[in-house]
Amino acid sequence: MTEPEISLTKNAARRVAAIAERKNAPAILRLAVDGGGCAGFTYSFELADAPEAEDEIAETDGVKLVVDPASLELVRGSAVDFVEDLGGAAFKVTNPNAQSGCGCGSSFSV
């Protein structure tokens, strides 16, 4: 069995399921990497209607995380979690490929 390309924690899956239920949408979270941000790349999240043909798909408790091939090259081996702290609540990517990040945690460089 091969190592998963990317993973979604149970906590993140619960949050996606709750958001999707409120929006009456499928429980599919899309992670994309865009150029920009203070460190070079930024993570973006949105609900998706369906996976695209080339997407990498990870599933936890019936919730899917989908990532396009270009973004996957930058986040391979990462885990997506949902964290709540004094600064607020957000999806967080633990990315082993990131060489550095910014203070806000939403951008990184490789």
pLDDT tens digits along 29-65: 999 998 876 667 888 999 999 999 999 999 999 999 9
109 CB burial (10 A radius; 0-12, 13-18, 19+) = middle
**pTM, two decimal places:** 0.85
User: CA 4, 72, 101, 18 torsion: positive or negative?
Assistant: negative
Q: How far is CA 72 from CA 6, 17, 22, 77, 95, in A?
A: 8, 22, 28, 9, 11
Domains and CATH numbers, the chain: 6-98 (2.60.300.12)
Tokens of 89: 């609540």
